[in-house]
Structure 1
Amino acid sequence: MTLETQFATMFTMIAFGVYMGVAYVTFKRFELWWANHVVLRYFFELFFWIVQAIVLFYVLYVLNEGIVRFYVFIALLCGYAMFKAIFEPLYRKLLEGILHYLSRFIRFWVRCIQVLIVNPIIWVVSMILLTLYKALLFLLKIFRFLLMTILYPFRYIFKSIFRLVPENRKKYIYQIINFFSKIKWRKK
């Protein structure tokens, strides 16, 4: 391995150490979403470190054919320490600002979709249902009116027939009417 390759590897590993700091701070910021779920927390933590190891060894493979030397770990540690000392406060502010504007942006689009698409659909559906309900009520009133109109003459016929029934039989008819009047019908 040439000296040029070693220096390129060392500077790349310092940059990768900074990247590891950025990735870890970002990961810890998003960890609040699944912190209460122990299984998810362990799964994502393991997944994060496996992905970082794969990326690290891929970068090493591209740079120097995957040769790991002691200075690689020192350069990673120096890059991470440089991130913690110099860049972390700035990056945390930047990350919070990006997340703040991103959440506002998402809320804006969700609200636009709510106002421009969902609310009109709900309004149209409710108007259709209300119109159908009013039409059904109107049809029921017409049906009731027609039924009452058709049955009105029969009312007098039944009253006339009932007058012809003997008094001792009317007593049984009244008992049947009283029995059915006590029945309470449940509405479904």
Structure 2
Amino acid sequence: MTLETQFITMFMMIAFGVYIGGAYVFFKRIDKWWTKRVVLRYLLELLFWVGQALLLFYILYKVNEGIVRFYIFIALFCGYAMFKALFESTFKKWVDVLLGFAGKMIRGIIRCIQMLVIQPIVWIVSLIFMLLHRIFVLLFKLFYVVVSIVAYPIRQIGILVYKLLPKKGKKIIYQIGQFSSKIRTKKK
């Protein structure tokens, strides 16, 4: 390994240490969204560190053919310490501003979707149900009127027939009525 490759490796590892510091601060800022789900929190933490390790070894492979030496870890820690000392407070402020802006954008998009998609669908469904209800009420009233019109002559004929019946026929009808009322009371 040449001296130039070693310097490039040292510089890249210091830069990666700074990157890890920033990525970890960002990860911890968005960590509050899933802190109540312990299993998810640990799983995402594990995935974060595995992803960082894979990225580190990919960079090492590209820079110095994947050779791992002790000074690489020292350079990583120096980069991380440099981030903590020089950039962390400013980076946290920028992350908070970025996340606040992203939250406002997401809330705005959700509000637009709600106003442009969900509300019209709710209005259309409400209108359809209202129209169906009115049609059902109208059909029921129409059915009632038709039944009333058809039943009136039948009722009048029934009254006329009842008046023309002899007393024995009226008595039989009365007994049938009493019998059917006993059946109804026994079923209850």
- TM-score, normalised on structure 1? 0.87
Q: How does 1:1-188 map to 2 (within 5 A)?
A: 1-163=1-163, 164=165, 165-167=169-171, 169-174=173-178, 176-177=180-181, 180=184
RMSD: 2.2
SS at match of 2:36: coil
C-alpha distance in 1, partners of 2:94/2:186? Answer: 76
* Post-superposition offset of 1:136: 1.9
Shift of 1:145: 0.3
Of the structure 1 ranges 126-135 and 32-41, higher mean CA displacement relative to structure 2 is found in 32-41
Q: State how many pairs are aligned.
A: 184
Rounded to whole Å, the distance in 1 between the matches of 2:47 and 2:142 is 69
Provide the C-alpha distance between the structure 1 equivalents of 2:89 and 2:145, rounded to a whole number of angstroms. 80
Alpha-carbon displacement from aligned partner over 1:9-67 (angstroms, at most 9, x marks no partner) = 11111110010011111222222222222322222122111111110011011111111
**TM-score for both structures, normalised by structure 2:** 0.87
**Partners of 1:157 and 1:178 in 2: CA distance:** 27
Check 1:140–1:61 CA distance in 2 against 1; reply closer, same or farther (3 A cut): same
Structure 2: tracts of 5 or more residues without a match: none
Instruction: Give the fraction of aligned pairs with identical amino acids, expressed as a percent.
Output: 49
Q: Name the CA shift for 1:158/1:131 in 2 (closer, same or farther; >3 Å).
A: same
SS at match of 1:68: coil
For residues 140 and 129 of structure 2, the distance between their equivalents in structure 1, rounded to whole angstroms, comes to 16
CA offsets 1:67-88 (integer angstroms, 9 cap, x no match) = 1111111110011111111111
Q: Name the SS of the counterpart of 1:35 in structure 2.
A: coil
